[in-house]
Chains A and B, each alone.
Chain A
């Protein structure tokens, strides 16, 4: 049976991500072992990797680095072996080079760009609730979403990508920002598929079966 590692580095609501992946796999008629883990050995042989994240960029990046051998295993499995990867919320934000939340922190730098505060232009902050993710190019995973499907957001920071083709979807709240990213085997979503009811489960169902 294929395994999916949900990376546990002390951040957020991991249980919901785990439950949603299991439900999505069941809906796709795929048997998957989903494990919330900080064990580098498990990550190194996982078929797929999900990196959740809640809270501040610096704290999440610090948590990832503090777990012995975890960041190295993640990099090796995703960057060297090309395992399918999905970052969720701060887990997506960590993909860029720099986080500018509170202090300047180095990210994973898998995609050129920075993570900075959303400029709401009079709208509410945090950006909280259901908003449309407009998919900008065909993608086997993101095509699961209807053209402007509403998905659930809860964040105040966004990624500014240097490479436009890394953006897979855009959302507008005060300003327009990348709400999904895709580069080769690496995907990220600023929204929470595990909290986006059928739309989110449909996306995860594609992810658990996706071959980049």
Chain B
């Protein structure tokens, strides 16, 4: 028995409602995040993730009420990201019932935040979210603000730096693939997972069950995060688990 690969349904949240768009525009509404999280909890999601996709550019705080209502009824780990700018934001999320805070834009702008949050709360609850676009063969650049702002930072180099600074996990999203259903960017995942010791969560582009398998087997991801394929009933978590198991991946036995 080894550590199981995790399947993480992700709920993109805006104004307290679940949304999922194609490349972060053209949002569709799929309900109350806490309700949706309870459904995934009942389906034995290995973790649940909320990303407040509008927080960093609209200056909104993270969705404490949604987090609180979710933690009331879900006994599964909850990661929340979006708008985390300071150590106090991490603390507020943890107090509301989140288990991990995902830091995105602020980690790029002020990497010292990673060190400070990790020292304060432990690496195990600090996720650094990296949104990357391919800019050349085997080269990816980090973008912030929902993919609108180029940073000039190399994604792989920053991933290594983030782990050295105390990130307990990396949430690696391909901005090229996000919302397309064309599959994760396996080369990006592999480039990062082969260079860091921390677990890598694959994100952006899952369109089918084989994509989940490929992220783990080819990309070296420890976890797969997906939204649309679960939200709109295309696949259940049980189907995802079965497909990964059939491919020889260790998943949580139920």
Contact = CB atoms under 8 A, between A and B. Distances in A.
B233 to A, nearest CB: 22
Nearest to B5: A129
A165 interface: no
Contacts of B197: 120, 124-125
B19 interface: no
A195 B3 contact: no
A130 B95 contact: no
Interface string A46-89: 00000000111001000000000000000000000000000000
A127 B3 contact: yes
Contacts of B2: 123, 131, 172-173
B75 A154 contact: no
Contact of B71 (A15, A126, A172, A201): A15
Contact of A130 (B4, B97, B122, B199): B4
Nearest to A148: B1
Contacts of A126: 123-124, 168-169, 198-199
Contacts of A194: 75
Interface of B: 1-6, 41, 44, 46-47, 71-72, 75-77, 94-100, 119-125, 168-169, 197-199, 222-223, 252-253
Contacts of A195: 75-77, 99
Contacts of B76: 152, 195, 197
A154 B3 contact: no
B59 to A, nearest CB: 26
A20 B46 contact: no
A126 B122 CA distance: 10
A197 B44 contact: yes
Contacts of A130: 3-4, 6, 46, 252
B198 A123 contact: no
Contacts of A55: 120-122
A192 B78 CA distance: 13
Chain A facing B: main interface SS: mixed
Contacts of B6: 129-130
Chain B facing A: main interface SS: loop
B99 A16 contact: yes
A153 B47 CA distance: 12
Contacts, number: 111
A128 B75 contact: no
Interface string A147-169: 01010111110000000000000
B124 to A, nearest CB: 4
A128 B170 CA distance: 12
B124 A155 contact: yes
Contact of B75 (A127, A148, A172, A200): A200
A13 B77 CA distance: 11
Contacts of A38: none
Interface residues of A, number: 40
Contacts of B168: 126, 128, 154, 156
Most chain A CB within a 10 A radius of its CB, from B100, B120, B253: B253
Nearest to A200: B75
B125 to A, nearest CB: 7
Nearest to A14: B95
B41 A13 contact: no
Contacts of B44: 197
A56 B122 CA distance: 6
Most chain B CB within a 10 A radius of its CB, from A12, A13, A123, A150: A13
B4 A197 contact: no
B124 A54 contact: yes
Given A16-B71, A132-B1, A150-B4, 16 more contacts: A12-B125, A13-B95, A15-B95, A54-B121, A54-B125, A124-B198, A127-B3, A128-B222, A129-B223, A130-B46, A131-B4, A154-B124, A156-B124, A156-B168, A195-B77, A201-B75
